Amino acid sequence: MPNPLLLAAARSDRMRGLVTSVPLTRGVVDRFVAGEDLEAATGVVRELAGAGLRVTLDHLGEDTAERAQAEATRDAYLAMFAAFEEQGLNDGADASVKLSALGQALDEDLAFDNASEICAAAGRAGMTVTLDMEDHTTVDSTLEILGKLRAEFPWVGVAIQAMLRRTEGDLRDLAHEGSRVRLVKGAYAEPASVAYQGKPEIDRAYVRGLRTLMAGSGYPMIGSHDPRIIEIAQALAATLGRPAESYEFQMLYGIRAAEQRRLAEAHQMRVYVPYGADWYGYFMRRLAERPANLAFFLRSFVSR
Ligand code: FDA
């Protein structure tokens, strides 16, 4: 299970200052983050596309406390859509958006307006948008904004976290025609009152959610690197007679890259590509997910 101390550190400004000030961190960050600017991200996307992989682009940033910063994030997405269209990278591409980066905690209407502009620009570029899901306090607001966005942009998708106890009900509501849902285990530290705590419980909840989505009439997006989950998804698709184009697998950039390429041979496979200077929170969640990543990170300090 994700390391709770590292998840707490992901939200600590003191730790952020410490970790981001060390130049050596950069090399480890590069494993999970495509680069600090759009040019670096497009290089990575070109390479992935060459291997038959689709992408969803995440302009890094979260927990925005200022309106100007929220608008800068919106503009970064608009610039990305324009560049993707111009460079012919838009076909089948998606953008992943964190509403907290668009001002959700400041003013929900601001986040909605920014998200709406992002969706309009994505639509013009022939791309789609998926809302990331953040900690459990934001789920109601995110689903409400999703509903409003879908009234105009019915292709907007959302990530749903299997670890949350409420999720089974949310998935039943979302498993309808045209609904794009990315099922993930959940990357945030959550109390037992709202979330399953142990890996076996979370994995079982994931499989229950997967069944609901695969049996429904929406478009399931299986966001997991877990080999057992992938096997179960393939078995469910076969049992339910779901054609390969009616669902997709998704994994994060830098994690199980060979498996991403293997799956792409017979399935739709999408890679989540984060880029931008504000990589700290994303990077710390990746460290928290796997103790070996932390060891790798620490070794990079002592081996120099
Ligand atoms: P699990 O954690 O059980 O890992 C299975 C195996 O995958 C591990 O044994 C290891 O081999 C590999 N692995 C997993 N994480 C790794 C890591 N960090 N480094 C190296 N190897 C690793 N969460 C969220 O709360 N909101 C969101 O919007 C999203 N969005 C999202 C998009 C996509 C495309 C993916 C794949 C994931 C997310 N997540 C997310 C993160 C998700 O909630 C979860 O934390 C991670 O995917 C890890 O869970 P797994 O399902 O991979 O299984």
Q: List pocket residues of ligand 1, CB cut-off 6 Å.
A: 132-133, 159, 161, 182, 184-188, 223-226, 250-252, 255-256, 272, 286, 289-290, 293
Give pLDDT, residue 50. Answer: 95
The rounded distance, in Å, linking the Cα atoms of 144 and 148 is 6
Residue 101 domain boundaries = 34-278
**pLDDT band per the 50, 70, 90 thresholds, residue 20:** confident
User: Of 54, 33, 153, 158, which Cα lies nearest the Cα of 99?
Assistant: 158
Q: 304 pLDDT exceeds 60?
A: no
Is residue 295 one of the residues assigned to a domain? Answer: no
Query: What is the reported pTM?
Result: 0.95
Which residue has the CA at smallest separation from atom 3 of ligand 1?
A: 226
**285 annotated ligand binder:** yes
1 CA → ligand 1 middle, Å? 10
Q: 303 pLDDT exceeds 70?
A: no
- In single-letter form, the type of residue at position 147 comes to G
289 CA → ligand 1 middle, Å? 7
Q: 290 pLDDT exceeds 90?
A: no
Is residue 287 one of the residues assigned to a domain? Answer: no
225 CA → ligand 1 middle, Å? 6
Question: Ligand 1: which atom is nearest the Cα of residue 56?
Answer: 34
What tens digit of pLDDT does each residue of 34-77 get? 999 999 999 999 999 999 999 999 999 999 989 999 999 999 99
Those residues whose C-beta lies under 8 Å from the C-beta of residue 174, and which sit 6 or more positions away, are: 158, 160, 181, 213, 218
The DSSP H or E segment spanning 56 is strand 54-59
Is residue 24 one of the residues assigned to a domain? Answer: no
Give pLDDT, residue 297. Answer: 75
The rounded distance, in Å, linking the Cα atoms of 84 and 90 is 5
**224 annotated ligand binder:** yes
Those residues whose C-beta lies under 8 Å from the C-beta of residue 84, and which sit 6 or more positions away, are: 42, 45, 57, 90, 93, 125, 127
Give pLDDT, residue 179. Answer: 98
How many domains, the chain? 1
**pLDDT band per the 50, 70, 90 thresholds, residue 300:** low
Q: 132 pLDDT exceeds 90?
A: yes
Question: Ligand 1: which atom is nearest the Cα of residue 272?
Answer: 34
Give pLDDT, residue 74. Answer: 98
E strands present in 60-171: 94-97, 128-131, 157-161
Is residue 288 one of the residues assigned to a domain? Answer: no
Residue 228 CB burial class (10 angstroms; 0-12, 13-18, ≥19): exposed
Mean pLDDT of 265-280: 96
Is residue 9 one of the residues assigned to a domain? Answer: no
Burial 153-191 (b: 16+ CB within 10 A, else e): bebbbbbbbbbbeebeebbeebbeeebbbbbbbbbbbbe
Percent of the chain with pLDDT strictly greater than 70: 98
Give pLDDT, residue 3. Answer: 83
**pLDDT band per the 50, 70, 90 thresholds, residue 295:** confident
Is residue 27 one of the residues assigned to a domain? Answer: no
Q: Which of the listed residues 7, 164, 224, 260 should we mutate to test ligand 1's pocket, taking the one with most ligand atoms within 8 A of CB?
A: 224
User: Of 129, 196, 130, 191, which Cα lies nearest the Cα of 161?
Assistant: 196
**161 annotated ligand binder:** yes
Q: Calculate the CA 43 to chain-centre distance.
A: 20
The rounded distance, in Å, linking the Cα atoms of 12 and 196 is 24
* Both tokens assigned to 301: 């300090």
Mean pLDDT of 249-266: 97
**254 annotated ligand binder:** no
Average pLDDT for the chain:
94
185 CA → ligand 1 middle, Å? 7
Burial 273-284 (b: 16+ CB within 10 A, else e): bbbbebbbbbbb
Residue with more model confidence, 57 or 303? 57
216 CA → ligand 1 middle, Å? 24
- In single-letter form, the type of residue at position 95 comes to A
- Indicate which CATH number applies to the domain containing 217: 3.20.20.220
For the annotated catalytic residues, the residue numbers are: 132, 182
Q: 301 pLDDT exceeds 80?
A: no
Is residue 246 one of the residues assigned to a domain? Answer: yes
What tens digit of pLDDT does each residue of 66-120 get? 999 999 999 999 999 999 999 999 999 999 999 999 999 999 999 999 999 999 9
Give pLDDT, residue 24. Answer: 61
Are the C-beta atoms of 114 and 74 separated by less than 8 Å?
A: yes
Query: What's the angle, vertex CA 247, arms to CA 262 and CA 148, rounded to 5?
Result: 135
Give pLDDT, residue 215. Answer: 98
**185 annotated ligand binder:** yes
Mean pLDDT of 266-285: 94
Give pLDDT, residue 143. Answer: 98
**pLDDT band per the 50, 70, 90 thresholds, residue 2:** confident
The rounded distance, in Å, linking the Cα atoms of 304 and 96 is 36
Residue 254 CB burial class (10 angstroms; 0-12, 13-18, ≥19): buried
**256 annotated ligand binder:** no
Question: Ligand 1: which atom is nearest the Cα of residue 163?
Answer: 43
Question: Ligand 1: which atom is nearest the Cα of residue 293?
Answer: 19
User: Of 114, 117, 108, 168, which Cα lies nearest the Cα of 138?
Assistant: 108
Q: Calculate the CA 121 to chain-centre distance.
A: 20
Q: Which of the listed residues 185, 201, 284 should we mutate to test ligand 1's pocket, taking the one with most ligand atoms within 8 A of CB?
A: 185
Give pLDDT, residue 7. Answer: 87
Q: 22 pLDDT exceeds 80?
A: no
Is residue 198 one of the residues assigned to a domain? Answer: yes
The rounded distance, in Å, linking the Cα atoms of 250 and 272 is 7
